[in-house]
Amino acid sequence: MSIYDIPVTLNDGTDTTMGAWEGHLLLIVNTASRCGYTPQLETLQELFDDYAPRGLFVIGVPCNQFADEEPGTDKQIACTYSEQHGVTFPVLKKCDVNGPNQHPLYEFLKGEGPDIEWNFEKFLVSPSGEVIGRFAPGMEPDEMPIIDLFEQHLPL
C-alpha cells in the first residue's frame, strides 16, 4: 500500500486520501495546542508559507494521547490553530498515533520503528511517497537537518 492510498479526514470533516498531496514533499506532524512545543505551529506555518510554492505541504495531525494536551473538539482545534497560531496548512481530524486505535497513516509512517514519543514528532515524506526523515519533538521544524532535506527534495 502506498501512503497515497490512506484515507484521511480533514479537520472540517472532509473525507479524502493522502493522494490529495501526491507528488509533494510532506512534513507531517502530530500536534497539540496545550503542549510546551505548541509554538512550533508558528514555525510550521512559516515553513509552509516559504516552501509551498516549491511543493511542500505541512500537515498537522492533532492528537490527545500525550498528557491530555489536545482535549478539544475538531472545531475548537481549528479555531485555536487558526486564531492563536495563524495556521493555514492542512489539519486532519484528531486521531491516535500509537496503540490499537492508531490511524493507518501513522502505521505507515512508523513502519517498524518505535512509537511516537510525544507531540510534535515530525515525519518527512518524499514526493514519491517514501519516509525520508523522522525528527524528535524537541527538534525545531526549521533546524538544518530538516531544511537540508527540503532543499534536496524540492525544485529550486
Looking at the annotation, which residues are catalytic?
A: 35
**Are the CB atoms for 88 and 50 separated by under 8 Å?**
no
Sequence-ordered list of residues with C-beta below 8 angstroms from that of 152, at least 6 positions apart, any chain = none
**Are the CB atoms for 103 and 95 separated by under 8 Å?**
yes
The stretches of 64-143 forming alpha helices (DSSP H) are: 74-85, 104-110
CA dihedral 26, 108, 22, 38 (to 10 degrees): -30
Determine the Cα–Cα distance for residues 145 and 90; give it in Å rounded to an integer.
23
Determine the Cα–Cα distance for residues 74 and 13; give it in Å rounded to an integer.
9
Structure-block grid coordinates of residue 74: 475538531
